[in-house]
Structure 1
């Protein structure tokens, strides 16, 4: 794109961030779970549909604890605490990618947390899963704020023992929160610089109508940051990961997964090995 007029022709005049967001970002699936409230309790039991593809036993499902949190924008969002380890030092606050919900992610969370000795806390964005409201950029930030405060108050976990993990669109609220709170660490998995830079790879500056401005926020992140990106990502080009990495004040050695795309990084052995080393060696020492 060579001119503002070309931007406007695609996104309508005057250009509006919410329109960019709607075109680029959100594709909530049909819910793959229900939260069943327990009598005389704020806890919920999670009921998973077949589409959630839970590959563990019913007994292992007991490690999943669900509940609702209210955001500052008055949406009730679904939250899930996955107890993966009895002696975990760190809890990961995981902001998942697009087109999935907590039901589909629950098995992955249990497997990942068990392997790297971390508990995992996650949430569904407004309009995803059984969370109320509609997806929007403003709601993304309110959603992660509500999840953060629930993790801090409900479970009493200190910031230095929390690892913020964002994947794809989930890196947007993760960077926003990490720019405001210092935490144990941050993992940015397939991050994006901004919405316009994804839609128009030749974009070199931040337009006033852009959205998801992680590239402008990440210099304020004072926690250690691990960036992970596939070299063959055709959704969010690896140039985004490289630019984010270069602007992180406390970036650690990144992981560029040779041959990996946008949705298969986790299938490569070095993904788990790098996370294990980060959590059990780099953050401890």
Structure 2
């Protein structure tokens, strides 16, 4: 098992730009933190450091749009950092009319630590916590955007947010291992098991993928879209590869269309609907038991209203015995229901979560390259 993990760690690796494309400094005139060698840092851009629950300090940037009602939390792809993404972030914020939070994973840019799957989960959580606490962004006004390897923390975090407004997956992966090999099942040592988690996402999902993607095959995006609960019209960019989708006019047009559609959805619709579904699912067995009780109650009411119990104790005793056996069956039914139906949906979610949570520290060093550096490895394999 240890050798398998080491082998996977050797094949899957994060590739932060080395050296980082920017440095941090404090502007004397404004007292604000800024990134050096980066243009497009206007006054509406905040740069900050955030602490994660795994002990790292990550760099994040928030682009404020005064007319925005929605906020994108953007998880970028591999071999990139905030210095390279800053221009794209400011342009997306402007053209889509949204606020945008971007962040560097642990070990990327000027973020401390070393990149790993579990650290990226802590990183996106820290960025979201900042949105909530510093910028007072609500869950139902948040859209998660995951590009390539960033689809991993995006999909995983989306399963934790029942009121999330929407998700955008840009050249997403089914899982780390499936980028390298066309496996048909999920192995314990795999990473970013999006194929198993995407059915747990209960908000509209837009998938964007290039048909000529040379790093993450087009089939990844298609299969993820097919597995979505709330499918939005996907964008399959003909001839698009892994790194140039933003250059297609259709890319921005489709994103605008999606944002416009999402803005028209009432803010609490997803939350209310999900809570209703959860209540319905958890009360199914209770409803069945109530129906059983109701039928028994109906039988008991005439019996108590006729006064026949005083006339025939023998008849009453027989009914009591019958009721006792009915109660035993009900208690048996309840125990089965408690151990069965109410837990089904929860168990499925827990099994899905446990399937990747139990990897733990065994695969902390396992990552995924989402650029051309994967190609030589694939050809060697």
Show the counterpart of 1:110.
90
Q: Could you tell me whether the CA contact under 8 Å between 2:27 and 2:34 is conserved in 1?
A: no
What residue number does 1:9 align with?
A: none
- Counterpart selection for 2:50 from 45, 65, 69: 69
Match for residue 4 of structure 1?
none
Shift of 1:38: 6.6
Is the aligned partner of 1:120 residue 2:108? no
Query: Among residues 3, 27, 30, which one is paired with 1:14 in the alignment?
Result: 3
Q: Does 1:171 align with 2:156?
A: no
1:47 shift after superposition: 2.6
| RMSD of Structure 2 on Structure 1 (CA) | 1.8
Paired residues, number: 262
* 1:256-278 deviation per Cα after TM superposition (whole angstroms, max 9, x unaligned): 01110000011101100000000
Q: Which residue of 1 aligns with 2:24?
A: 35
Higher RCO by CA contacts (8 Å cutoff, separation 6 or greater): 2
SS of the residue corresponding to residue 89 of structure 1 reads coil
Paired with 2:169 and 2:10, the residues of 1 have a C-alpha distance of 22
SS at match of 2:3: coil
User: Contact 1:20–1:195 at 8 Å: present in 2 too?
Assistant: no
Q: Tell me how far apart the structure 2 counterparts of residues 104 and 80 of structure 1 sit (CA, whole Å).
A: 12
Whether contact under 8 Å (2:53, 2:122) holds in the other structure is: yes
Structure 2 unaligned regions, length at least 5:
266-381
Q: Secondary structure at the match of 1:187?
A: strand
Q: What's the CA shift for 1:282?
A: 4.1
2:201/2:228 contact within 8 Å kept: yes
The structural deviation recorded for 1:219 is 0.6
Which structure: greater strand fraction?
1
Answering whether residue 35 of structure 2 is matched by residue 23 of structure 1, we say no
Residue number among 205, 209, 222 corresponding to 1:225 in the alignment: 205
Distance 1:73 1:22, change over 3 A: farther
Which one has the largest radius of gyration?
Answer: 2
Distance verdict in 2 for CA 1:22–1:36, change over 3 Å: farther
Per the alignment, residue 214 of structure 1 pairs with 194
- Does 2:109 correspond to 1:129? yes
Distance 1:190 1:21 in 2: 22
- TM, length-normalised to structure 1: 0.87
Q: What does residue 36 of structure 2 align with?
A: 48
Deviation at 1:25, TM superposition (A): 4.0
- How many angstroms does 1:220 deviate by? 0.5
The 2-side partners of 1:254 and 1:187 are apart by 10
Match of 2:121 in 1: 141
Indicate the SS of the match to 2:250: helix
Q: Is the 8 A contact 2:25 2:33 kept in 1?
A: yes
Alpha-carbon distance between aligned partners in 1 of 2:227 and 2:197, rounded to the nearest angstrom? 9
C-alpha change, 1:61 and 1:19, in structure 2 (3 Å) is farther
Contact 1:21–1:195 at 8 Å: present in 2 too? no
Q: Does the 8 A contact of 2:35 with 2:47 survive in 1? A: no
- Cα distance between partner residues in 1 of 2:95 and 2:153: 25
Correspondence for 1:198 among 179, 182, 196: 179
Question: For residues 21 and 226 of structure 1, what CA distance do their matches in structure 2 show?
Answer: 30
Q: Deviations over 1:57-96 (max 9, x none)?
A: xxx522221111111100011111012x211011100000
Please give the alpha-carbon distance, in whole angstroms, between the structure 1 residues aligned to 2:168 and 2:9. Answer: 23
Q: How many Å apart are 1:27 and its aligned residue? A: 0.6
Structure 1, gaps ≥5 residues long: 1-11
Q: CA deviation at 1:209?
A: 1.3
2: distance between equivalents of 1:44 and 1:20? 42
Report the TM-score, using the length of structure 2 for normalisation: 0.66
